[in-house]
């Protein structure tokens, strides 16, 4: 049997890659992909815990997380399309009309 720590190490590494992607990359689409990576790291966590605790709750959470990730990315891409149509930028650093 694989120890639960292995799963946690995997999910923490994935999560950190996602966090680094959002914070360091400036392309909005890559930032959204990094967010997806974070959510998938969470899914690994939930599935692993559900398996080790022999509890279905974690698996249910995974299903809902996947759905919400899809909904979130649909909204984000819709907003991105509106932004690109108006200004044709996909770089987060070029979003600078709001400052104070």
Partner 1 sequence: MPIGLNDIIAILPEIIVSLSACVLLIVDLFIPKGKKFFIGGIAILTVMVAAFVSFYIAGAGLTGMTVFSGMFAADGFGFFFKGIFFVIAILVILLSLSYVDTEGIENGEYYIFILFSLAGMMVMASGVDLLSIYLGLELMSLPVYILTGYAKLNKRSNEAAMKYVVLGAFSSGILLFGISLIYGITGTTELTGIATALSAGGAEHGALIIAVVMLVAGFGFKIAGVPFHMWSPDVYEGAPTPITAFMSVGPKAAAFAVILRVFLDGLAPAYDTWYLILSIVAVGSMVVGNIVAIAQTNLKRMLAYSSIGHAGYALLGVIAGGEEGVASVMYYMLVYAFMNLGIFAVMLYMRTTKRSGELISDYTGLAKKNAPLAFVMLLFLFSLAGIPPTAGFIGKFYVFMALIHAGHIYLAVIGILLSAVAAYYYIRIIMLMYMKEPEGEFEFVRSRPILYVLTLTAVVVIILGIFPGDLLSLAQSAAVFL
Partner 2 sequence: MFLTYLPVLMMLAVVGAMGAAAVIFSSFLRPNNPYGTKLSPWECGMEPIGDASTGHFRVHFFVIAILFIVFDVETLYLFPWAVLLTDESISLLIFIEMFVFIVVLAIGLIYAWGKGALDWVK
User: Residue 9 is encoded by which pair of tokens?
Assistant: 């190490």
DSSP class of 97? S
CA distance 89 to 100: 21
Instruction: Look at residue 82 and give the partner it binds from partner 2, partner 1, none, a contact being a CB closer than 5 to 8 Å depending on partner kind.
Output: partner 1
81 near partner 2 (CB under 8 A): yes
**Burial of residue 61 (number of CB atoms within 10 Å: 0-12, 13-18, 19+):** middle
Which spans of this chain sit near partner 1 (rule: CB under 8 A)?
Answer: 4, 8, 11, 15, 18-19, 22, 28, 31-32, 35, 38-39, 41-42, 45-46, 49, 53, 55, 57-58, 60-61, 64-65, 68, 71-73, 75-76, 78-80, 82-83, 86-87, 92, 95, 97-100
């Amino acid at each position: 049997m694989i120890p639960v720590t292995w799963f946690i190490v995997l999910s923490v590494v994935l999560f950190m890659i996602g966090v680094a992607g959002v914070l360091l990359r400036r392309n909005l689409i890559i930032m959204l992909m990094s967010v997806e990576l974070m959510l998938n790291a969470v899914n690994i966590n939930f599935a692993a815990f559900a398996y080790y605790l022999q509890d279905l709750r974690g698996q249910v959470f995974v299903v809902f997380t996947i759905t919400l990730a899809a909904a979130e990315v649909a909204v984000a891409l819709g907003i991105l399309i509106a932004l690109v149509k108006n200004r044709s930028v996909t770089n987060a650093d070029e979003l600078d009309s709001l400052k104070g």
